[in-house]
Chains A and B, each alone.
Chain A
Amino acid sequence: MIRFVLQRLLLLPLLMAIFSILVFVIVEAPPGDFLTSYIATLASSGSSIGAEHVEALRRQYGLDQPIWVQYLKWMGNLLQGDLGLSLEYQRPNAELIGEQLFLTVVLALFSFVLTWIIAVPAGIYSAIRQRSVIDYILTVVNYIGVATPNFMLALVLMWVAFAYFGISVTGLFSPEYQGAEWSLAKLLDLLAHAWLPSLVLGIAGTARLTRVMRANLLDELNKPYVVTARAKGLPEWTLVLRYPVRLAFNPLVSTIGWYLPQLFSGSLIVATVMNLPNIGPLLLRALVNQDMYLAGSILLIYCMLTIVGTLLSDILLAWLDPRIRMEG
């Protein structure tokens, strides 16, 4: 077990190194740099800056150096924990990303928990009461849940809340807690706001998980050991919950590996639509404005979250299922 975890941990820096090159190439790829778009913005607002000033800025940000020097500098700083300076906000990237990163993780985990709380009982119920009315309703809801892009769902919910109830469901905090220090009241406020975006974010996953749970359990319920247990007079619910459900669970756990990372990247769109203080909207702005170090740092954080999410689920799976440990 320990060997397995160590092996995976050793791979991590290598993957991050590959991703850092990939990310740097992507943020470097657009023609022009931050200064060209900065100058264009200035020009459109009527002011202009001199050529010398531009040169000075270019030198200050190191934009005049060859690309590999820029990459090495960036990496060197990153390894020392320095995420660089945002060209647009003129503030350290770490400061910009800080709290938003925390909220990104909270939102994804919250949504993850919500998904499981809903999907597992729903799956169990529709498997046991197969072809009942509720089973059919759940099936229809699941199909629609998978088919709806989550930004669409967010839009519809926001529209209904605004047009019919006159409330706005955007953001993660009430105005009075926006800039406040962390306290219990602020945490409760966060929880009160977070469930709706989490639900929106998790809807497709919930639908898929319910279907997997239902199918797995249906397979198990037809097996002889269930008949034996029933013949021996075990109460139906005890029987189902104690044996087949546990077995049906295993394949479900293996989906965490792709599901958790998916939540991290999926929250980007939901956060943009619902105006959540998440690193998603920050990345979007940085990409559009060619604020390359900010964009690069956020992209790398997404890669990191994805790898760590996969790693966590691998460890969980190896812990649950000894066969996988042996292979590793």
Chain B
Amino acid sequence: MAGAAADMSAAEERISVASNWTLVWWRFRKHKLALASAAILAVLYAIVLCPDFFSTQHPERTDARQAFIPIQSIHFLDDGKWSPWVPVAVGKRDPVTLRMEWGTDPSRKIRIGFFVDGPEYRFLGLVRAKVRLVGPLDPEQRIFLLGSDRMGRDQWSRIMHGTQTSMTIGLVAVTLSVVLGIVLGGISGYFGGWIDQVIQRLIEILQSVPTIPIWLALSAALPRDWTPTQVFFAITVILSLIGWTTLGREVRGRFLALREEDFVLAAELAGCSRWRIIVRHMVPTFLSHIIATSSLAIPVMIINETSLSFLGLGIRPPAISWGVLLQEAQNIQTLALAPWLLLPGLLVIVSVLAFNLIGDGLRDASDPYSK
């Protein structure tokens, strides 16, 4: 009995001295789905850091004779021994429809390896590197782990590069709207008065804007001759311009409530500057809540970017994003011929799902003192 009581009090003491963030982490840890999602996102962001390492070849390498090759699956064993290979795709033209029909030739194998040297790329745009996660041992050969598109480009490698663009857009756009939301919502809630009125009316107007049509119109207004980087940033700004309002409202509400709290008064009496009160005393009390809200906003941005690019008004080729890749799947006849072109969509769903689950976990964990 005495031992159990001592254990109890030890556990309680651990909780009572733990910092806020430790408590949040303990709470979050209990969500197994959220943890699994965090692992998935870790992989996706590893791809964002260096898509070249994960791809088997250059994403723009084309070959008209290798169009619409189906998925080549990896075989790990050869005669019961470890020797990974993929079957060679052999094309035959159908004499009636003149369409290329791909089959596999079981006698011919492309040997592949992990961490092999492939074509050179620059890691983070700086360091020269050659090593790739997976690739053919003979650099002259090409493998299509997720099939190829109408121009014979390797979908696997293109998806890796698309991941970089789409995941970055989500993150940057949400960061921008969080900054806008905190600054404008904070100003609105902290100062009140006519500033508050102006910002609140602005939010109301922005919230009654029909989002998708206005997004389309704004993206259509981007000059056609902009470089992919310029378009990328413009799209990010467009997405976040309308996205910040919800967060702005929430931050304002929190500021209004917190302004009356004793600890703010205490800080004021102690002679803290306004800036210090906001940054040191007020923001940390609702930071975890903001993180949870913004992790639920990222998937919305990803879906929006994908939809815009799919309609041809977002990211434009030669830049690659999930939406750009899905444009290849727009035609139903093509899709019936090459259903693997829908795979980038699967990645959209997986990433959005992962963000939503993490967001739910964070939202529950963000207030560790609640039951």
Contact = CB atoms under 8 A, between A and B. Distances in A.
Contacts of B352: 146-148
B97 to A, nearest CB: 16
A210 to B, nearest CB: 15
B311 A143 contact: no
Contacts of A288: 220, 312-313
Nearest to B215: A265
A1 interface: no
Contact of B212 (A27, A163, A268): A268
Contact of B210 (A31, A144, A264, A273): A264
B68 to A, nearest CB: 15
Contact of A268 (B208, B213, B339, B348): B213
Interface in B190-213: 205, 207-213
A269 B311 contact: yes
A306 B211 CA distance: 10
Contact of A295 (B208, B217, B222, B303): B217
Interface in A255-301: 258, 261-262, 264-266, 268-269, 272-273, 283-284, 287-288, 295, 298-299
B90 interface: no
A307 B329 CA distance: 35
Contact of B356 (A143, A269, A299, A302): A143
For chain B, give the interface size range.
Answer: 35 or more
A317 to B, nearest CB: 16
B357 interface: yes
Interface in A106-158: 143-144, 146-149, 151-152, 155-156, 158
A305 interface: yes
Contact of B336 (A146, A162, A269): A162
A265 B210 contact: yes
A155 B348 CA distance: 14
Contact of B223 (A18, A31, A265): A31
A248 interface: no
B220 A152 contact: no
Contacts of A147: 299, 348-349, 352-353, 356
B209 A30 contact: no
A283 B223 contact: no
Nearest to A158: B332
A18 B332 CA distance: 41
A261 B210 contact: yes
A35 interface: no
For chain A, give the interface size range.
Answer: 35 or more
Contacts of A156: 342, 345
B208 A307 contact: yes
A306 B217 contact: no
A265 B339 contact: no
Given A26-B214, A29-B221, A306 B307 contact: no
A151 B332 contact: no
Contact of B217 (A26, A151, A163): A26
A64 B356 CA distance: 51
A284 B213 CA distance: 9
A15 B208 contact: yes
A306 B206 CA distance: 12
Given A151-B307, A269-B311, A283-B216, A306 B209 contact: yes
Contact of B208 (A146, A158, A306): A306
B310 interface: yes
Contacts of A155: 326, 329-330, 335, 342, 345
B210 A303 contact: yes
A74 interface: no
A159 B214 CA distance: 29
A310 interface: yes
Contacts of B330: 155, 273
A151 B205 contact: no
Interface in A151-186: 151-152, 155-156, 158-159, 162-163, 168
A22 B205 CA distance: 11
Given A265-B213, A288-B313, A306-B208, 5 more contacts: A149-B306, A152-B326, A159-B335, A268-B212, A307-B208
Interface of A: 15, 18-19, 22-23, 26-27, 29-31, 143-144, 146-149, 151-152, 155-156, 158-159, 162-163, 168, 258, 261-262, 264-266, 268-269, 272-273, 283-284, 287-288, 295, 298-299, 302-303, 305-307, 310
Q: Which 5 A-B pairs have the closest CB atoms?
A: A265-B212, A287-B220, A29-B221, A147-B352, A302-B210
5 contacts: A30-B223, A159-B339, A265-B212, A265-B213, A306-B210
